[in-house]
Amino acid sequence: MSLFITFEGGEGCGKTVQTRALYRRLTREGIPAVLTHEPGGTVIGEKIARWLKWAHGAGISPLTELLMFDASRAQLVEEFIQPSLKHGKVVICDRFADSTIAYQGYGRGLDLQMVRSINDTAAHGLKPDLTILLDSPAEIGLARKGKGKQDRFHQADIAFHTKVRQGYLKLAAEEPARWLVIDASQSKKEISEIIWGKVRLSLRAHSLRSV
Ligand SMILES: Nc1ncnc2c1ncn2[C@@H]1O[C@H](COP(=O)(O)OP(=O)(O)OP(=O)(O)O)[C@@H](O)[C@H]1O
Ligand SMILES: [Mg+2]
Question: What would the pLDDT profile of 136-172 be if each residue is shown by its tens digit?
Answer: 999 999 999 887 888 999 889 999 999 999 999 999 9
Q: What share of the chain is helix, strand, coil (3-state, %, to 5)?
A: 55, 15, 30
Neighbours of ion ligand 2 (CB under 5 A): 15-16
CATH code: domain of residue 40: 3.40.50.300
User: Ligand 1: does its nearest atom lie under 6 Å from the Cβ of 14?
Assistant: yes
**What's the rounded Cα separation, in Å, for the pair 53 and 97?**
17
User: Ligand 1: does its nearest atom lie under 6 Å from the Cβ of 188?
Assistant: yes
Whether residue 209 has pLDDT greater than 80: no
User: Ligand 1: does its nearest atom lie under 6 Å from the Cβ of 12?
Assistant: yes
- The residue among 83, 97, 76, 74 whose CA lies nearest residue 2 is 83
How many whole angstroms from 76 Cα to the centroid of ligand 2? 17
Q: What is the pLDDT of residues 23-44, one digit of tens each?
A: 999 999 999 999 999 999 999 9
pLDDT confidence band for 56 (50 / 70 / 90):
confident
Q: What is the pLDDT of residues 67-91, one digit of tens each?
A: 999 999 999 999 999 999 999 999 9
User: Ligand 1: does its nearest atom lie under 6 Å from the Cβ of 185?
Assistant: no
- Work out how many domains the chain is built from and give that number: 1
85 Rama class: left (phi>0) / alpha (psi -120 to 50) / beta:
alpha
- When pLDDT is averaged across residues 182-197 and rounded to a whole number, the result is 98
Question: What is the amino acid identity at position 180?
Answer: L
CA 115 to chain centre: 15
The protein residue with its alpha carbon nearest to ligand 1, atom 16, reads 14
Cβ atoms 202, 130 nearer than 8 A: yes
Task: Indicate the SS3 state at residue 96.
Answer: coil
Backbone angles phi, psi at 188, to 5 degrees: -55, -45
Q: What is the pLDDT of residues 97-140, one digit of tens each?
A: 999 999 999 999 999 999 999 999 999 999 999 999 999 999 99
pLDDT for 211 equals 44
pTM (two decimals): 0.97
How many whole angstroms from 211 Cα to the centroid of ligand 1? 38
Cβ atoms 141, 9 nearer than 8 A: yes
Domain encompassing residue 118: 3-209
How many whole angstroms from 163 Cα to the centroid of ligand 1? 20
CA distances for 54 relative to 58, 90, 109, 133, 151, angstroms:
9, 31, 21, 25, 6
Residue 16: exposure state from Cβ atoms within 10 A (0-12, 13-18, ≥19): middle
pLDDT for 208 equals 55
Determine the residue of 8, 17, 190 to mutate for testing ligand 1's pocket, defined as the one with the most ligand atoms within 8 A of the Cβ atom: 17
pLDDT for 165 equals 98
User: Ligand 1: does its nearest atom lie under 6 Å from the Cβ of 17?
Assistant: yes
Cβ atoms 192, 25 nearer than 8 A: yes
- The residue among 104, 174, 164, 91 whose CA lies nearest residue 134 is 164
